[in-house]
Amino acid sequence: MTPKLSRTILATSDPETLAAEILRALKYRVGKDTTVATPYDWLTASINVVRDRVIDQWIRSTKEAYDEKEKRVYYLSLEFLIGRLMRDAFSNIGLWDDMRVALKSLGVEIDVVAGLEPDAALGNGGLGRLAACFMESMATVDIPAHGYGIRYQNGMFRQEISDGWQVELPENWLDHGNPWEFERRERSFEVGYGGHVESVTSKDGRLEKHVWKPVERVLAVAYDTPVVGWRGTRVNTLRLWSSMAIDPILLDAFNAGDHIGALRESNKAEALSRVLYPADSTAAGQELRLRQEYFFSTASLQDITQRHLSQFGDLLSLPDQAAIHLNDTHPAVAVAELMRLFMDEHGVDFDQAWDATKRTFAYTNHTLLPEALESWPVALFDRLLPRHLQIIYAINAQVLLEARSSGHFSDEQISRISLIQEGGERRVRMGNLAFVGSHSINGVSALHTELMKETVFADLHQLYPDRINNKTNGITPRRWLIQSNPGLTGIVRDAIGDKFLDDVEELTALDKFAGDAAFREQFAAVKRANKERLANYVSGRLGVKVDPSALFDIQIKRIHEYKRQLLNIIEAVALYDQIRSHPERDWMPRVKFFGGKAAPSYHNAKLIIKLANDVAKVINRDPSVRGLLKMVFVPNYNVSLAEIMMPAADLSEQISTAGMEASGTGNMKFGLNGALTIGTLDGANVEMKEHVGDENIFIFGLTANQVAERRANGYNPRAVIDASPDLSQALSMISTGVFSPDDPNRYRDLLGGLYEGDWFMVAADFDAYAATQREVDKVWSDSPDWYARAVRNVARMGWFSSDRTIRQYAKEIWNVAQ
């Protein structure tokens, strides 16, 4: 066997050569000379220079996987929150510093140019960002992999804050073109919808096969983006599908004068890949969404099966050569689609097709929230995908037979195992479909996986007890440490050498530097510089002045009631009240930062944004606070903003109601950048506590079991509120209009929810949270102690690398070499 080409070390280039190449690219690819070049032209030229080297490695990686008949991973995800790609690619291939020098010699600042690249926000939040970190880690640990998704013309909306309210604007990330992508017109597949199913019988009257005759058809066209692993070892492909009409214009109609009608088909087809649904942790529910899910599932499977057939000639060996991963249930219809391809297109019988399908697919569950569990009305499914519904019925019959014949299941359990929800409008349960069609179902943190076994999938777990397993999420240390925090990376290299760059778990060597005063001072200086950068950003964009010597307390994530930004805001109000009533106490200066988008239809989430802004306005202007507390809502939280905020945090807020956050990955990014966490025992916080040690994390509040118990035994939030003077006072300030004099009733319903039911246990956890915040102040006041804990967080966060996660997937789920 030839040595793996991808392990060969890349030839680097010197800055002079690169500068000459940049000028060439500016001239011959952009068509400009230096006198008229805009910063954007420099961006395009620079990317072109590095891209050429990426492409060489990309072609090698792809050819090697083919020649060696390596098993491939196909990661299907409706979201890839990739952010900017320039720094990632330049840095991973080892050219960032040389390109910086080269551009400098041409009078261009690389940071300015890099800041012009649009942030590709093809996802909502954690789920989409996980897919992006996984793609980078698969390239890094040398797994041949393709990501498959949709090339949304408009990704996540851009958030502006107007008078404290969220305003949603379209993000036109493709306006200037996208130098990272390659259109592959030749890789296009037809996608059908609707129509009917014909049965073909042989001469002796036996049913031979089913043929689906869709009435609507559109084209899925591939766009490929290279994904560069660390040190350029391997370059994988992110293939995103764009929709196109098969006949872009109906010439008959056009010639007859119906110019609009002539384009109707085309507009309708293109709508499919126009927008990302901006809902997070909520099922989108609309027909267009189901169309999107099928669109990218079938295009990806046609691509995968065609590639497999052309290389191996026989489809039944697919499970040996391909692991197809379903990132949540969004691509779950792929289970039925692969069955259809096997049976209807390749003449495989049901039993063999079902066996091969299960051996091919694996599924990751991302949430236990009932509102996020996807299901589609049977009537809608039948109208759009009649053949798939038949197949789902056939699968269901098989599964229910297995359950019944085991004799271990009650009728009630059988009805919960069924792929069809009966009673009322009949619906197809996508989670159950993904479960039964996969050999592996994983949760994303230890706690989440256990809860999955006890709740949503309790019955299916009893039927198939060896399928559920845990794969705790991770983040890529390249983007979230090396690129976004060069200052910290630099002092860590000086302290422990370079090993951690290739294996971030080597960061444990930093542990002993927690006790080294000189190192702690370097650490504090780096943190201070990162905080100044954030302070400048906030002052430039929002005109709010914050003091970088204050404790930077940050909660950035999607706005959701279960994530409890409200708890944080109410605590800020209580603290504000205390600072005013006890000015003599030794208050620790603190800036509370918030950031995050609310789903446009999520009323309470939007109100929470308004409340944060209302409270900030009053606190920031009150001279009696003497700058001891400031509050800032930073608009348009996205990957690029995260890259500025994570390195600047002292305190990371991870305060979801226990049992509701599947994992969290923001928590890991903060920890890796040396923030201490204040959090509940939820999601991966539990494992972070085990890794960093109890003394290096601030844990408070009810556990998941206690939350369940309280809910079951008649939790009475009113009594809890009455028993807490601080909480009562804070709530009364909000509800009497102290922060909303223009509309004193603005928060009546929002706070009403706390008195009536308080599903998210804000009241139950308030006192513990507030007390823990004062504990935080105490530690912060002893800065050697604080920074010692912060250094230990960095040293012990290596396990939360997505390289570790991906190695576990490779070994325990996909059975691929790495």
Ligand X SMILES: *Cc1c(COP(=O)(O)O)cnc(C)c1O
Catalytic residues: 366, 557-558, 563, 665, 669
Shortest Å, Cβ 557 to ligand X: 3
Cα-flanking dihedrals φ and ψ of residue 124, to 5°? -90, -50
Between CA 709 and CA 706 the distance in angstroms is: 5
Q: Which is nearer to ligand X, 121 or 333 (CB)?
A: 121
Minimum CB distance to ligand X smaller for 168 or for 521: 168
**664 binds ligand X per the rule CB under 6 A:** yes
Single-letter amino acid, residue 443: G
DSSP label at 152? Answer: -
Q: How many residues does the chain have?
A: 818
Q: By C-beta, is 357 or 367 nearer to ligand X?
A: 367
Choosing from 665, 677, 793, 805, the residue that interacts with ligand X (CB under 6 A) is: 665
Pick 102 or 227: Cβ nearer ligand X: 227
Least Å from the CB of residue 665 to ligand X? 4
Question: Does residue 407 contact residue 295 with C-beta atoms inside 8 Å?
Answer: no
Site map (CB under 6 A) of ligand X, residues 259-278, x = contact: --------------------
Q: Which of residues 57-76 bind ligand X (CB under 6 A)?
A: none
The label of the residue with tokens 């599947």 reads: 662
Nearer to ligand X, 149 or 664 (CB): 664
Q: How far is the CB of 747 from ligand X (least distance, A)?
A: 24
Q: How far is CA 161 from the centre of its chain?
A: 23
Shortest distance in whole angstroms from residue 666 CB to ligand X:
2
Residue 663 Cβ vs ligand X, minimum distance, rounded to whole Å: 7
Q: Is 647 in the site for ligand X (CB under 6 A)?
A: no
Q: How far apart are CA 257 and CA 260, in angstroms?
A: 9
**CA Rg, the chain, in Å?**
27
Q: Are strands 182-193 and 651-654 parallel, antiparallel or unpaired?
A: unpaired
Query: How far apart are alpha carbons 109 and 97 in whole angstroms?
Result: 12
Question: Residue ranges of the alpha helices (H) in 497-588?
Answer: 499-502, 517-542, 565-581
Helix (H) or strand (E) holding 161: strand 158-162
**Region of 90-98, 166-174, 456-464, 660-668 interacting with ligand X (CB under 6 A):** 660-668
**Using CA atoms, how far apart are residues 228 and 47, in angstroms rounded to an integer?**
13
Question: Which 95-154 positions form the footprint of ligand X (CB under 6 A)?
Answer: 125-126, 129
The 3-state DSSP class for residue 182 equals strand
Minimum gap (Å) between residue 83 Cβ and ligand X: 7
Region binding ligand X by CB under 6 A among candidate stretches 539-547, 665-673, 685-693, 742-750: 665-673
Site stretch for ligand X (CB under 6 A), options 170-178, 367-375, 514-522, 662-670: 662-670
CA distance 397 to 395: 5
Cβ-based nearer residue to ligand X, 61 or 530 = 530
Cα 9 to chain centroid distance, Å, stands at 31
Judged by CB under 6 A, the residue of 232, 659, 666, 798 near ligand X is 666
HSE at residue 155, side-chain half, CA atoms within 13 A, is 26
Applying CB under 6 A, does 236 fall inside the site for ligand X?
Answer: no
CA distance 133 to 83: 11
Indicate the residue among 319 and 666 with the shorter CB distance to ligand X: 666
Q: Which of residues 558-617 bind ligand X (CB under 6 A)?
A: 558
Contact in structure between 758 and 717 (CB atoms under 8 Å):
yes
Distances (CA, A) of 281 to 80, 269, 330: 16, 27, 12
- CA nearest neighbour of 91 among 475, 474, 489: 489
- Residue whose tokens read 């004799």: 407
Q: Map the footprint of ligand X across residues 526-565, applying CB under 6 A.
A: 557-558
Least distance (Å) between residue 676 CB and ligand X: 15
CB-based contacts of 9: which residues, under 8 Å, 6+ apart? Answer: 231
- From the CB of 662, what's the least distance to ligand X, in Å? 9
Question: Closer to ligand X at the Cβ: 53 or 564?
Answer: 564
In the bound state with ligand X, the residue whose beta carbon lies nearer, of 299 and 699, is: 699
State the maximum Cα–Cα separation within the chain, in Å, rounded to a whole number: 96
Q: Which of 492, 639, 727, 733 binds ligand X (CB under 6 A)?
A: 639
Closer residue to ligand X (CB): 387 or 564: 564
Q: With respect to ligand X, which residue has the nearer C-beta, 126 or 443?
A: 126
638, 680, 802, 805: residue in contact with ligand X (rule CB under 6 A): 638
Shortest spacing between CB 765 and ligand X, in angstroms: 18
Closest contact distance (angstroms) between CB of 597 and ligand X is: 9
Which of 57, 72, 89, 77 lies closest to 134, judged by CA?
77
AA letter at 406: S
Distance CA 275, CA 158 (A): 13
Our finding on whether 642 is near ligand X (CB under 6 A) is: yes
Distance in angstroms (rounded) separating the CA atoms of residues 136 and 93? 12
What residues have CB less than 8 Å from 802, skipping those under 6 apart? 130, 133, 134, 136, 137, 473, 474, 475, 476
Which one of 237-245, 290-298, 400-408, 664-672 is the stretch in contact with ligand X (CB under 6 A)? 664-672
In the bound state with ligand X, the residue whose beta carbon lies nearer, of 129 and 448, is 129
Q: Smallest distance from the beta carbon of 90 to ligand X, in angstroms?
A: 20
Query: Rounded to the nearest whole angstrom, what is the least distance from the CB of residue 284 to ligand X in the complex?
Result: 18
CB atoms within 10 A of CB 599: 22
Taking the complex as a whole, how short is the minimal distance between the CB of residue 288 and ligand X, in angstroms? 24
Is 239 in contact with 223 (CB distance < 8 Å)? yes
Residue 220 phi/psi, 5-degree rounding, is: -105, 120
Among 638, 595, 632, 602, CA closest to 615:
632
Q: Which helix (H) or strand (E) holds 629?
A: strand 629-633
Q: Which residue is nearest to ligand X (CB)?
A: 666
Q: How many residues bind ligand X (CB under 6 A)?
A: 13
One-letter identity of residue 27:
K
- Give the count of alpha carbons within 13 A of 735, CB side only: 14
Q: Identify the three-state secondary structure at position 595.
A: strand
Does position 443 bind ligand X by CB under 6 A? Answer: no
Burial 555-581 (b: 16+ CB within 10 A, else e): bbbbbbbbbbbbbbbbbbbbbbbbbee
Contact call for residues 660 and 684 (beta carbons, < 8 A): no
Identity of the residue, 79 or 344, whose beta carbon is nearer to ligand X in the bound complex: 79
Positions that interact with ligand X (CB under 6 A): 125-126, 129, 557-558, 637-639, 642, 664-666, 669
